[in-house]
Chains A and B, each alone.
Chain A
Amino acid sequence: MSDNSIAISASGLSRKFGSLLAVNEVDLEIETGSIYGFLGPNGSGKSTTIRMLCGLLTPSAGSAYVMGLDVRKDSEALKQQIGYMTQRFSLYEDLTVKENLQFVSEIYAVPRKQRKPRVLELLQDFKLMDQTRQRAGTLSGGQKQRLALAAATLHRPKILFLDEPTSAVDPQNRRDFWETLFELAEQGTTILVSTHYMDEAERCHKLAILDEGVKVADGTPRQLGDDIHSHVVELVDDDPNSIRQALINREGIESITQLGVRLRVLIPKSIAKPIELVKSYLGDRNPNVHIEQVTPDIEDVFVAVTEERRDTQAMQKGVSI
């Protein structure tokens, strides 16, 4: 664990809640100064994994080291090193913006003389100067989120855990938020962020896709796209519904995702000419259709890897597909 380039490492990390296996043998290796994403639907184990890495939950099995500290034994020493932004707004709604930040600065025992300047700095950086005396409970979603991030970064942590930070925020604020994250990463902060937005996942340096507590894939967004065992064929037509009807449940068609007039179709790589296959299914009923093979995006990856997992599970159970 002496390798300084690795900020977070985990192996076989698991957590049970009663009989439910919330996180199932997750291995992680996260580089210092990178933004690492957890992508997955609700209940896929993102929050539980983050909580284990913060030392909030004890792993049922496996091990994890954050900054070389064992999350089982050294969780107290870890607290000073990490910042944690909870999924739910967890600052005091009946305190003002400034009072909240002051409280956090005192809790982290920031030296007395530096407290005021640090709070002021954060208020400016996170564009909260006009809300200084406003109660946190009356802030908008975007303002709350900025305040929470300000509080999480107040003590200049080396690692930042963000649990679905943008779930209550409009697109403009989300963009700004990610700008801030990149700035922080540039300064050397390692950021682990969970999300269920595909576009956010695409912005991460690396990401892991979680499904039902299992890490089904990880790597850079591009790597993930290259690694899937499917071609992506995009079809554009005025009548996507009839195309859908023609393709659904046909041999070699893994999944169909509709995006307005566009359909994205996943076809296994074992089929050499995917476009020909699609054309053969369509026949001549959609003469104006535009068919093109495209590079997979994160959503395609997500669909492909989760489908794949379902299939292998079904096969293991002996159910025919």
Chain B
Amino acid sequence: MKSLSRIFAVIRKEFLQLSRDRLTFGMIVGIPLIQLMMFGYAINTDVRNLSAAYVDESETSLSREMISDLAASQVIILKQRVASIQELDQLLDAGSISIGIVIPSDFDRRVIERDRAAVQLLVDGTDPIILGVARQLTGVPVRFDTQTEQLRNQPAAIFEVRNFYNPERRSAVNIVPGLVGVILTMTMVLFTAVAIVRERERGNLELLINTPIKTPELMLGKIFPYILIGLLQLVIIFSMGRVFFQVPIRGSEVHVLLASLIFIAANLSLGLLISTSAKTQFQAMQMAFFVFLPSILLSGFMFPFDGMPAIAQNIAEVLPLTHFNRLIRGIVLRGADMFSMMDELIALAVFTVVTLTLAIVRFSKRLD
């Protein structure tokens, strides 16, 4: 009971202060508005090592040769062979592959007769860069002993690219969900990063640590108001995304909300951890920016995750934004079930628990 009273006291106080702090209030609404407009344009680049799976219904030496040629191109990494197109669909939905290759049973005949495309590429179009890569793939030559010349001259006819999820290839469709994560990272980390340092700088902390309030109570009281603010930003971004860029939400809105909640909590905890380490508000902001850059560059928001070197991928796996990007793109663009991406949810939850615990441990109710 006492605990609740104290947590509630901090929450109420934070809201009162927020309502009087015009600058912060402006940031809550302003940052999503400005960012969303600025990132209306995408940045494309070359990609390698996209994960892929294939179905081979013809099982001829030609089909096997073509698959090995595709693998040799290094643009894709063949993760597995599956039995049916339905399985490929599932893998795409879960986000475990970016490209699915379908070789029909009459592959050899199609290659020779050239009346229809011989191979179908199922592409995760949520990322325009991946789509571009798939188009490159169509240029891979397929050698067929008797008709080499002919095939090389007309390679395009061998592959047919089918763009999943984003048939019109609009960048905004991909950018907006990614932007949700970027904006939440920037604002949430920053708000809580200064939250405790500010009280320290203004002298309030000396009063606060002399009261019976417990550290977890203070931390929870600090986090809660910003969770609501994060959700407010989420609504702003998706509403604007719908109005200005016609970005649909294909999956469940409840899943969007739940995934965002975990992600917001992860960022707020990280902010608090920064706040317990920094001595001044300025230092806290510097540390926050130290988190922003890798988040934006490595999380898959700007460049596809699969195309990055292993070290960058490892760093990215630690960042909450990486996991959230996979989740939110999956839910919003592929209409995927949140729980089909359990790994990402667990990663975010673990991150939250670890950082919050560290923040609580690091925060001392003493001045020494």
Contacts and interface: CB of A to CB of B under 8 A. Distances in A.
Nearest to A148: B207
25 contacts: A58-B366, A58-B368, A75-B366, A76-B365, A82-B210, A88-B203, A88-B206, A90-B202, A90-B205, A90-B206, A91-B204, A93-B202, A94-B17, A95-B16, A99-B13, A99-B16, A103-B13, A104-B211, A106-B9, A107-B10, A107-B211, A108-B211, A109-B5, A109-B6, A151-B207
A86 B209 contact: no
B207 A56 contact: no
B364 to A, nearest CB: 10
A75 B9 contact: no
A262 interface: no
B38 interface: no
B213 interface: yes
Contact of B6 (A86, A90, A106): A106
Interface string A79-110: 11010101011111111000100011011110
B365 A75 contact: yes
Nearest to B8: A106
A45 interface: no
A287 B3 CA distance: 76
B5 A84 contact: no
Given A51-B367, A90-B203, A93-B202, A56 B209 contact: yes
Interface residues on A, range: 20 to 34
B5 A106 contact: yes
Contact of A56 (B2, B203, B367): B367
Contacts of A79: 210-212
Contacts of A93: 202
Interface string B194-205: 000000001111
B203 A89 contact: yes
A23 interface: no
A86 B365 contact: no
Interface residues on B, range: 20 to 34
Q: Closest 10 interchain pairs by CB?
A: A106-B9, A109-B2, A90-B207, A90-B203, A84-B210, A79-B212, A88-B203, A109-B5, A107-B211, A56-B367
Most A CB contacts (10 A, CB to CB) among B5, B207, B208 go to B207
Would you call the interface of chain B mostly helix, strand, loop, or mixed? helix
A55 interface: yes
A84 B211 CA distance: 9
Contact of B21 (A75, A91, A94): A94
Contacts of A76: 212, 214, 365
A103 B11 CA distance: 10
A86 B206 contact: yes
A86 B5 contact: no
Contacts of A91: 204, 207
A251 to B, nearest CB: 48
A151 B207 CA distance: 10
Contacts of B1: 109
A80 B212 contact: yes
Contacts of A181: none
Interface of B: 1-2, 5-6, 8-10, 12-13, 16-17, 20-21, 202-214, 365-368
Contacts of B211: 79, 104, 107-108
Contact of A86 (B9, B12, B203, B213): B203
A301 interface: no
B2 to A, nearest CB: 4
Contact of B207 (A75, A86, A99): A86
B207 A109 contact: no
Most A CB contacts (10 A, CB to CB) among B205, B210, B212 go to B210
Contacts of B20: 94
B312 to A, nearest CB: 42
A93 B206 CA distance: 14
A54 interface: yes
Given A92-B204, A93-B202, A109 B212 contact: yes
A185 interface: no
Nearest to B217: A107
A55 B202 CA distance: 21
Contacts of A28: none
Contacts of B6: 106-107, 109
Contacts of A107: 6, 9-10, 208, 211-213
B210 A92 contact: no
A84 B214 CA distance: 17
Contacts of A82: 210
Contacts of A112: 5
Given A80-B212, A91-B204, A94-B17, A103 B5 contact: no
A57 interface: yes
B361 to A, nearest CB: 16
A114 B365 CA distance: 28
Contacts of B12: 103, 106
A192 B212 CA distance: 20
A89 B206 CA distance: 10
A93 B17 CA distance: 10
A51 B206 CA distance: 10
B213 to A, nearest CB: 5
A109 B1 CA distance: 9
